[in-house]
Amino acid sequence: MNIVAALWQLQTIDQEIDEKTQRLRQVNKALAGDLTVVAASTTLAAEQKKLSDLRATLRDRELEASSLDAKLKELNQRLYSGSVANPKELDGLSKDLEMHKRLRSTLDDKLLELMDAVEQTQARVDVQANSFKQVETKRGGDVEKLSHEHETLEKRLAHLQADRDKTRAQLDSTALRTYDQLRRTKAGRAVVQLRRDSCGACGVTVPTGLVNRVRTGNEIVFCTGCGRILAP
Ligand SMILES: [Zn+2]
């Protein structure tokens, strides 16, 4: 293989390595985490926390209601059992009973409100759990596809690397140094094909003598416009 053909081949390999490496980085990033799953999980956890807080409050209020019921029962018994005869004491008991009945009634309203809130929050938790499950299922599929792509990319890159080494071994150090430097300074395009008698990159017309040398010779010819290596 002549020197320019080898350089052209090297550049084709290097460009694919660049492209595959960039894609591999994107795949790795996508595999590392998915913000949609995190967001869905955070929302679900927040709703679940609200629900468990509400349930705890409801249980406390229910306990409060039980002890109020016991107190009411006790007051009723004392008031109507006939064991208390003193009118002043009876009046006091009666007022106490009324006060506890009012407390119980207020508590009933609160209990209804809480039960309503529990029901609504439970509904939101169900919706959120469902949406989290969907997001997670989709993520599972994505991860599978991404893992497969990751494997394919790594295999291809290993293959390209071997090809690259082989191609570089065919070139002398001066040609490689020139090529590497042009790749760095010319946006990855060190070698460019002629388009008729013009440079395929910058479009400058290449003198006929140079065109002939590019087409026939086994030598590096630079574009007079952009300084890239010209290939037939
Ligand atoms: Zn040029």
pLDDT tens-digit profile of 119-152? 999 999 999 999 999 999 999 999 999 999 999 9
Task: Please give the Cα distance from 72 to 66 (Å, whole number).
Answer: 10
Task: Please give the Cα distance from 42 to 49 (Å, whole number).
Answer: 11
Task: Give the strands of the sheet with 198-199, arranged side by side.
Answer: 198-199, 191-195, 229-231
Residue 218 has pLDDT above 90, yes or no: no
Q: Is the pTM value of this prediction over 0.85?
A: no
Q: In this predicted model, what pLDDT tens digit does every residue of 56-81 receive, in sequence order?
A: 999 999 999 999 999 999 999 998 88
- Looking at every residue in the chain, the average pLDDT score rounds to 95
**What pLDDT is attached to residue 191?**
97
Q: Residue 107 contacts by C-beta under 8 Å, 6 or more apart in sequence?
A: 61, 64, 65, 68
Å from CA of 206 to ligand 1 middle: 8
Share of the chain above pLDDT 70, in %: 99
Task: Please give the Cα distance from 165 to 14 (Å, whole number).
Answer: 11
Class of domain 33-169: mainly alpha
**What pLDDT is attached to residue 85?**
85
Residue 48 has pLDDT above 90, yes or no: yes
Residue 1 has pLDDT above 80, yes or no: no
Residue 217 has pLDDT above 80, yes or no: no
Task: Please give the Cα distance from 202 to 225 (Å, whole number).
Answer: 7
Å from CA of 227 to ligand 1 middle: 6
CB within 5 A of ion ligand 1: which residues? 199, 201-202, 223, 225-226
Burial class (CB in 10 A: 0-12, 13-18, 19+), 10: buried
Å from CA of 230 to ligand 1 middle: 8
Task: Please give the Cα distance from 53 to 48 (Å, whole number).
Answer: 9
In the chain, CATH 1.10.287.1700 covers: 33-169
Å from CA of 205 to ligand 1 middle: 8
**Confidence bin at 82 (pLDDT 50/70/90):** confident
